[in-house]
Chains A and B, each alone.
Chain A
């Protein structure tokens, strides 16, 4: 089955770019997602990428997909303190979405 791995912590300064990385095992995942969880709240879909795409950009967010290495990344440009949250990478293998452990992003003012 699908396994999704990501680093647990990332600390950046306000205004810098953040890059959160994720690796997955199931090459049949047709969609890969990034979810954001703010303190005390559930997860919310941030962005997604279809597996036949290499890159997707949405305002400050850039998603890069390397299918050969099964590597997904999320870049946040001009990181703000409001971006402090846990970011989950997820892949859909069939109906089941498998989530990574989440990367906690700390943004220092």
Chain B
């Protein structure tokens, strides 16, 4: 089954404790991306990757890191989480058509709470 998986689905942590949210896709997609969803703000892109070893900042990259060492995986790293990073996070992947990520497939989401 074609899918994007994220782990963990729920996470409660404390300020400053490093954490990683994993994302994996089994569709051989070139493009992967991370979004955060907050009430009243919709979805905002954090980072995206057009291919292995190619990553770029989205609209709200501060406080986050990513890596793309393998095509299927795109982990999101919070080196020193803060309460304003409490949010619902989605990973997505897509094939590229003429450089455009059509038909993004989204993971189920990770609800992160930073106290």
Task: Verify that A and B bind, or say they do not.
Answer: no
